[in-house]
Every structure is written in C-alpha cells, then in structure tokens.
Structure 1
Amino acid sequence: MNYRNIHSIPITIGILMFLLATKAFAFQTGKNRLPNVLFIFVDDLRTDLGCYGNTVIKTPNIDKLASGAGVFRHHYVQVPTCGASRCSMLTGMAPKTRDHLSNEAIRNHISGKSEKEAPETFIHHLKRNGYTTVGIGKISHYIDGLYDYTESSEGTPPELPYSWDRFLFDPGQWKDGWDAFFAYADGSSRITRKRQVRPYEMAEVSDEGYPDGLSAKLAIKQIDNLSKGEKPFFLAVGFFKPHLPFNAPKKYWDLYRRNAIPLTPSPMVPEKVNSASLHNNKEFNRYLLGEEKPTPDTPASREYSRKIRHAYYAAVSYTDALIGKLLDKLQSKGLDKNTIIVLWGDHGWQLGDHRIWGKHTLFEKALKSPLIISVPSITRQRRNIDEIVSSVDIYPTLIELCQAEMPHKTSGKSMVGLLRGEDPEWEEAAYGYYNNGITVRVPGYRYTRYYRNEKPVVELYDHHNDPEENHNIASDVPELLLKFDKILEKGNTGLYLN
C-alpha cells in the first residue's frame, strides 16, 4: 500500500485505526520507526575502562560510546558466573533454585522446552513484536548455541530455540565453538592442548587472528544486511575477551608499559572472613603452564601479578577495538540515529583482589560490571548514573524503549526514568547469589549472609570508608545487622530452601 496516497482510498475509520495500532504500520513510516538495538555482550569485563575512571587502560571506543550514553556506575549482576548471569539477565528473573546458579541454567530451564505464552527471553518477546533478531558469538553460554561439538550434536536443541531469526558463529581454524572459546593463535586450544598452555598469549596476528575478530567481521556484514530491511532489528554480538585465556594480538600488548599498570589495592584476604567465602583460583590454575599457581594462602608474586594484569588489559583493548568497528559501521550506514546501543559485562573479575584470580565470589569486584546504554531518542540523556541497578533491570528497560508491552512481571524494573533523569524514588538494592550466600549492595554498604556451617556467616563492608572491602565490620556494628537483614530478606527467593 502507498501510504502517501492513503487519503484517496475509501477505507473505513475502523480499518485506519487498526493500521495505526499495528507495528507493521510503524515499521514502514520513517518518522515512527521503532528503534533498532545493538546489544554487545562482553565476557568477564570489569569496570576497568576509561569511562569508569581507569586512567591507564586504553579503551577509546567504549569511552567514545560512553561520552554520549548513560554510564551506570553501580551496576551489578545477579550471579558471578557466565551462564547463570546471562540466564538471569535474558529472562529478567533472579535465581530461584540452585540450578539457576549454574552455567547450565539455560540448558536446564529453557532449552528443549516447547514454546510457551511467556517468552523465553526478552529477545524472544521482541521477535514476537516484529523485530528481526540476530545473534553472533557468545550470547547465552555455549558459543554455537549447542552443548557439544561431536557429530552427534547435529540434533541437539539450541539453547534459545525461539529467540533468534538467525544465530551465527564463525569458528575459523578452530573448527568449533568450544575450541574457539579457548583459542590460541596457531589454531589450537586449551582443550586440544590438554591444558598444557599459559593463561595468556601475545601473538603477531591481525584482529582476525583470534575468533572475536571473526565475530566482529560477521557482525559488520549483518549490519549491512539489516540496514536494508523494513523491520527494526535486534543484533546481539558476544565477545569472548577478556575471558581466560587472556590472548590478544601483540599490538594491544604494546599499548602498555607493564610497570605503569597498578597492582590491586586489596592484596590481602579481607579481615574477619572465612576462607569459604573465597576460592582457590581453580579456573585460572587450570592453565597448567602458568608460571605460578596462586591461592589465597600462596599469593602470586608482584611480577606475575603485573604480567597477568597486563594480559587482561591487552585483551580488553582488543575487544574495545572490535567494538569500535561495529560502532563505525552503524554510523556509516546512518543507523546510529535510531539504534539503541547496550554494552554489558556479564560479571566482574578479581585480578588478584583478595588474592583471587577469577569471579565466583560475592565480593564487589566479581559482581560489579559495566553497563552503558545509549538511546538516541532521549535528547537529554543522563550521562553518569550513580543509582544502584541490577542486570534484571535491563529486560523491562529495553521492552519500554522498544515500545512493547511487558509480557509478565520480572524481578527488575525499567531504568528509562533514570536515563531521562526522572526517577527520584528509585529503590537502590542489587542482590547477588552464589556460594551458599546472598548479598545485597545498597548505598554505602554491601551486606552478605551465607547459609553454611563455617563462621562467620555474615559480612558487612562500609563502602564509605572501605570501598575495596578489606574489612568485615559485621561484628563491630551488631545494631546495623537487623536493618540489613530486613533488606536482604526482600531478595530471598527461597534459593537456599530448595
């Protein structure tokens, strides 16, 4: 139908009202076109970025995005491990069972199920509302959206069977997603080398010499294709780095002078904390050729600590460069004016903080991650947003921004008011779940309660005076614990009663 000549067609008012109400009408009128979404997932990304105040790390492209976007300075994931954190964010739901704390959360609760009235993810809901949905790389947990890479995997159900119109991944010389995830530049992987590898690599290769470069190339091609469509699109791109191994092309290592990279401000185990709140760096020490095997009892040397931090910074700068390519492509196609951009880290990572190398704790550095949201339609968007928010808040935020109805109640709430600077009554409490414990981050404090035998089971950190969480003050201020218990109970989903 030619809408420029619609006045000449004798249609009833009822039909006209129907057309105005349908999203198909909105898609085909440039002024009312629904926004596209580019959602960038980054694995194991701390808030070590220029836009978050790190003056050493080189992240010019993320910083440029942040300069015109809402930077959530206190964003927290619900679970400090990849698969479970992604499950919680994609479904908008806090974990309710121990299965929800596992990297197999999506496999156990979504994959292989029949399609239901309630969408499996917010991506599924956008697809039902007229969006073309395309996924590339690591979005849920398994890279190809499958669970194994043998010949028998051909009939394996995808992780998210109803969310995608297209799901793509180029494993390159590594041949499958799992080997690509742990890739080394010569085409080998941690798996094929039977863990006889270092937890880092500096290689004389181009950006496409590692799998993330191939994902960026795929994404650029998809932006070209999607720009020609009449429907709005949701494009998700998942980058591996800076997940272990910290491998990156040499040019990103060369951005840094190693001696200028700072060491952790929390080199000791926190005071009055049981070792059960920590771990022995199992994931990190799985790389058998690592020069040292640090644990909380035998910390890494200063020299090795700085080498690993250098490797992590190089991996972050590599991902930053690839993100820059996507943003440049959006702009070159004229899509930046109507594309919401979300950059999300699936959790933090302790780079020697409290002698931990990894995630899997309920400390600030494992639960805090970057969240940057750019909304071109908000002309006076807030830049630095200090309110405490959670990953479960992303679902209702995107659904509102994409002008769809929420399909059901989730654990989060829309952050659109915060982006507009119009939500003075935002309730600040971010809950985290792991390791037989529940934690809540509120303004000025982190309060954690463990459901275990090892004492103490309660930890309280005063972020006004101790932002690195080096001193558990719970036993010093018993009068505050009742107050924080009441707040914590609001986030108790019955997880540890199952």
Structure 2
Amino acid sequence: MGLQRVAGWVKPVCVVFGMVLCIGAASVVPAERPNIVFIFTDDHCQQALSAYDDSRTATPNLDRIAKGGMRFDRCYVTNSICGPSRAVIQTGKYSHLNGFKTNRDTFNGDQQTFPKLLQAVGYQTAVIGKWHLKSTPQGYDYYDVLQGQGPYYNPPMLTAGPDGQPVKREHTGYTTDIITEKTVRWLKEARDPDRPFMVMFQHKAPHRNWMPGPKYLNWLDDVTIPEPETMWDDYSGRTQSAAAQAMTMARHLNDRDLKLTGSGILNAQQRQAWDAAYGPKNKAFLKARESMTEKEIVQWKYQRYVKDYLRCVRSVDDGVGVVLDYLDEAGLADNTVVIYSSDQGWYLGEHGWFDKRWMYEESLKTPLMIRWPGVTQAGSTNDDIVSNLDFAETFLDLAGVPVPDEMQGRSLVPLLRGQTPADWRKDFYYHYYENPGAHDVARHCGVTDGRYKLIHFYALEGKPIDDWELFDLQKDPNELTSVADDPAYAEIRSRMTERLTQMQEMYQVPGDTIQPVKRRRARN
C-alpha cells in the first residue's frame, strides 16, 4: 500500500502491480488544518450586539470573537428569511439555484453541500440545534436538531438512530441551554481528537416569540430601552409596499408575543417561575392600559418586546462563553476558527417593525465576526461587501478544499488575512420571494453598492406590481425617502438598473423576474 497526499491529507492508496486500484479514506492523517466552530442564531441583528452597537445591551462573550478577530460591517444576506438563508450557507448558491426560496420549501439534501466536501477530506462534521430545512441533514457525522422552528422550552429533537434513520428525543429545560450543553458534550466526548472538525452550533433564539430563560425573566425590568429614531415612521416617502406589510408593533404583535397569555409548553416548575415574573408586570399594565393613549400602548409594547428579545440574546451570549471557554481549556482555541453570524438582520422597532424580509438595511445586514488566532488581526474591522453566500466557500478554503465552480460566492480567507483582492465585489444582488406569505412583504429584488440601493417590488398579494425605490444611503441612511423619480438621480437610477440586469444574468436568475427589469430599463 502506498500513500497519496491529497489537499493536505495523506490517504492510503491500494497499488497492485503498479496500478492504482482504489483510494481508501479510513486512515486519513490530519495536517495542521484549523477546526471550525460556526455559531449561528436566528433573527439576531447587528444593533443587538454590543460589538456593533452598545446602546441597548452588552454581549461580552460574543464580543470576544470580534475582539479576538475581525468584525464585518457589511455582511449582506441574499434572501432575508430563515430557511432560505440556511440553504444558501449549505450550498454557496442563491435561492433560485439551491431550490429553497421560501420557508414553505423543503431543502434537497442530495445536492452538493460544503459539509459533504469537508467529510470527503476527513473532517468530522456536526450540526446541533436549529436546522429548519425540513429534510434530514446530510453530510454530517452527527446531527441533533430541533423539529421545525422548535420551542423555547422542552424541545423535541431529531438525531440519527441505530439504523441511521432520524428518531425523536424529548428534552426538559431551556432550549438555548440544551443546545449549548449538547455542543460541548460533542466536543468533549464524541469527536475524534486526532481529526479536525467542523461543528455548526445553531440556536433558535432570538426568534419570535422571544421567551426568556429562567435566569433572565426579570432582567432589564428596571431599565428603559431607547426607542429607535425611525420608530414612528409613516412610510410616506416610499412605495405602497412599505405600508402594506403586516409587521408593526402597533397592530401585529399579539398577546402571546407580549406574554399576556400563557404558553402550554412549560412544565409546572417552569410555569411557576414564569408566572411569578410576568404576573405582576402584566397586572400592572392591564390596569394602566385603561387610561393609556395609543402611543403609550405602543411604547409599552416596544419595551416588552425588545426586553424579551434581549433576554433571549443574553442566554445565547452565556452559551457562547461556555463554548469559547471550553476551546481555551482544551487547548483547541489556537487552531480553531470561530465564526459568529445569524440568518439575517432584524427590526428592533425601526420603522415601527419587528421581523425581517426587506432589502432595507436592518434586515439586509447580518452580524459576522470571525476569530482566527495567529492569522486574523485581533480587533480589526472590515467594510467590504461580504455575504452568507461566501460562508461555504470560506469553510472549504479554510480546510484546503477546492471551491466548486457551481458555488456563487467567494472565500473570505484573503480578507481574514487583511488582503482584499482587487477584484472583490463592489455591489450585491438581493431577492425575496415569499409573497403571498407571512407579514405581507412584497416580492422584490435589488442591487446595492453600499452608497446607492435600487429595489424593484414586482408582486404584492399575488398580483404583479412595478414599483421602484432608490436610496442614497449617504444622505438618507434610514431609507425614509426614495429618490427613484427624482430627476437629479436619473443617471444613477439608469446605472443601477443596468447593473441589476447584469447581476440577474450573471447569477442565472429565471427570466420571469429579469423581464420586468428589462422592460423598465427600455422606458428610461
């Protein structure tokens, strides 16, 4: 038997009479490849991370990643919604090519994904926590995932049984803590210490309906969270789509979101702690509501909603600290790349909203912080346009695996080394598909270069529309007034429209959404 070195790994090769007959993969010998810990949350926005914005809360453990590595300030998502974002990360391809455009879809796990490619070169792969792609995870040596969205307490989870088929196991406790405990247990007990690993440590939090853990039920009770400056936006400066949505705090947060009604997922002990925390607060509000103005009620809703959201984030931050501490204690930190991100951004009252979906800044941007000891400068920041489209390519590049041509993003490794390629992207394409659907956000696509943003809304409530918005982010960072029809921006609009068409062709977007853009360009 001979040895063949393939991309940094030594694989046994069966040689008979000078002919190569087979290549085995059972005895791979690791080179000094980094381990990868990918920490992922659901609906966590930059403005709820103190590494980006310390006006609302502190996230000291998450901040450790930024302080020890690089914070990316312009990480854009291709499609601002949970499942589609996860499918993009698995495949390195836009939604229209990976087949998962809305949360109603089911991910085709038979297609090529980055964990399968990592497995092929000897990496141990695991995904623990929120999966939200409906199909059974493929490409993972170990999976232990929530069913669907998963509850905040006492979650049933799916893992492979003895026959390889998924089995459901019940759990008691707070979901964020359970996911953290499972991740640390896998790192300590289940992985092969002689092989590199990639683990996806993925939380449900802080997804709706924002149920805090027992430790933080009363945290922030004595604090008033500042209101965002756009909280009372009336949408008068944009097209019909901005006003047609169903995600305002004033009208669309329900009693379950606001903890004014109970939840059946709690056991008796959990219910006792819950009622002790929320009972007195709810009683005081219901009594005061009789004399409150509509504005005061919205202000109360904002405080309740944002505090519960931040309480959920706080438990995530604790869990991240546990994992980072373990990497230090086990001597793994120096050879482990730690990546933190979320599936998209989120509205913490900006424009009067909760939720995501829009190409507007708060939901287009997602947090991204990466720590690579000895390579990435500690405490550095990056303002290049990067994306969740780049994550798969980055994981592969870190492992020394060639990036397949079909993937549409680019590895962030050069940026992590402080060397932005001269041909790095200068603009970015976005596309949201889920309408009709939850929250009534119109289907739209668009392009941004960080200074200007052009958005085309092309379907609302199942009917075609042809609405355009253009923003000058330097003069109007809150995107309150579209200048799409301002003669002073005619040349910029024409240029951005041309670029939108080019990017749709480059990314192979189907013609039914390219065509309206071409028709509009012809009229200008």
Q: What residue number does 1:264 align with?
A: 228
Deviation, 1:475, is 1.5
Matches of 1:20 and 1:124, distance apart in 2: 16
Deviation, 1:54, is 2.5
Counterpart code for 2:482:
N
Deviation, 1:102, is 0.8
Matched, 1:56 2:62: no
Counterpart code for 1:122:
F
Q: What residue number does 1:428 align with?
A: 426
Deviation, 1:343, is 0.9
Deviation, 1:490, is 3.0
Q: What residue number does 2:141 align with?
A: 165
3-state DSSP class of the match of 1:305? Answer: helix
For residues 329-386 of structure 1, give each alpha carbon's deviation from its aligned partner in whole angstroms, at most 9, with x where no partner exists.
1111111111111111001111222222211222211121101111224154671111
Matches of 1:431 and 1:382, distance apart in 2: 29
**Contact in 1 for aligned 2:66/2:379 (Cα 8 Å):** no
User: Structure 2 residue aligned with 1:211, among 175, 179, 197?
Assistant: 175
Q: What residue number does 2:522 align with?
A: none
Deviation, 1:19, is 4.7
**Contact in 1 for aligned 2:430/2:447 (Cα 8 Å):** yes
Q: What residue number does 2:520 align with?
A: none
Deviation, 1:74, is 0.8
Q: What residue number does 1:182 align with?
A: 151
Q: What residue number does 2:509 align with?
A: 494
Q: Which has the larger displacement, 468-477 or 375-384?
A: 375-384
Distance of aligned partners of 1:409 and 1:258 in 2 relative to their CA distance in 1, 3 Å threshold: farther
Q: How does 1:399-438 map to 2 (within 5 A)?
A: 399-425=396-422, 426-434=424-432, 435-438=442-445
Q: Aligned residues: percent identity?
A: 25
Distance of aligned partners of 1:21 and 1:270 in 2 relative to their CA distance in 1, 3 Å threshold: closer
Matched, 1:359 2:356: yes
**Contact in 1 for aligned 2:152/2:204 (Cα 8 Å):** no
Matched, 1:467 2:466: no
Matched, 1:275 2:274: no
Matched, 1:123 2:87: no
Distance of aligned partners of 1:19 and 1:429 in 2 relative to their CA distance in 1, 3 Å threshold: closer
Matches of 2:348 and 2:113, distance apart in 1: 32
Q: How does 1:259-338 map to 2 (within 5 A)?
A: 259-267=223-231, 268-277=233-242, 278-281=244-247, 285=252, 287-290=254-257, 301-338=298-335
**Contact in 2 for aligned 1:81/1:359 (Cα 8 Å):** yes
Deviation, 1:99, is 5.4
For residues 251-270 of structure 1, give each alpha carbon's deviation from its aligned partner in whole angstroms, at most 9, with x where no partner exists.
43544356531112212143
Matches of 1:23 and 1:373, distance apart in 2: 25
Q: Which has the larger displacement, 432-441 or 323-332?
A: 432-441
TM-score of the pair, normalised by structure 2: 0.74
**Contact in 1 for aligned 2:124/2:197 (Cα 8 Å):** yes
**Contact in 2 for aligned 1:389/1:429 (Cα 8 Å):** no
Deviation, 1:288, is 4.6
Deviation, 1:272, is 3.0
Matched, 1:23 2:9: yes
Matches of 1:183 and 1:249, distance apart in 2: 8
Matched positions, count: 427
3-state DSSP class of the match of 2:384? Answer: strand
User: Structure 2 residue aligned with 1:484, among 496, 504, 509?
Assistant: 496
For residues 36-90 of structure 1, give each alpha carbon's deviation from its aligned partner in whole angstroms, at most 9, with x where no partner exists.
1111110011002111122331200001111011111110111111111111121
Matches of 1:212 and 1:496, distance apart in 2: 42
Distance of aligned partners of 1:382 and 1:305 in 2 relative to their CA distance in 1, 3 Å threshold: closer
3-state DSSP class of the match of 1:351? Answer: coil
**Contact in 2 for aligned 1:97/1:495 (Cα 8 Å):** no
Deviation, 1:214, is 0.7
TM-score of the pair, normalised by structure 1: 0.78
**Contact in 1 for aligned 2:78/2:430 (Cα 8 Å):** yes
Matches of 1:424 and 1:23, distance apart in 2: 28
Structure 2 stretches lacking a partner, 5+ long: 12-26, 157-171, 261-293, 433-441, 514-524
**Contact in 2 for aligned 1:84/1:104 (Cα 8 Å):** no
Matches of 1:103 and 1:407, distance apart in 2: 26
User: Structure 2 residue aligned with 1:444, among 435, 445, 451?
Assistant: 451
Counterpart code for 2:113:
T
Matched, 1:386 2:401: no
Matched, 1:245 2:209: yes
Distance of aligned partners of 1:478 and 1:456 in 2 relative to their CA distance in 1, 3 Å threshold: farther
Distance of aligned partners of 1:495 and 1:258 in 2 relative to their CA distance in 1, 3 Å threshold: farther
Q: What residue number does 1:42 align with?
A: 41
Q: What residue number does 2:195 align with?
A: 231
3-state DSSP class of the match of 2:359? Answer: coil
For residues 222-256 of structure 1, give each alpha carbon's deviation from its aligned partner in whole angstroms, at most 9, with x where no partner exists.
11125643211111111011001111125435443
Counterpart code for 2:310:
Y
Structure 1 stretches lacking a partner, 5+ long: 1-10, 114-118, 148-157, 172-176, 189-207, 293-297
Q: What residue number does 1:196 align with?
A: none
3-state DSSP class of the match of 2:73? Answer: strand
For residues 440-480 of structure 1, give each alpha carbon's deviation from its aligned partner in whole angstroms, at most 9, with x where no partner exists.
22122222112247777111122212222112122222221
Deviation, 1:285, is 4.2
Please, what is the CA RMSD of the aligned residues? 3.0
Matches of 1:55 and 1:321, distance apart in 2: 19
Matches of 2:9 and 2:312, distance apart in 1: 41
Distance of aligned partners of 1:228 and 1:484 in 2 relative to their CA distance in 1, 3 Å threshold: same
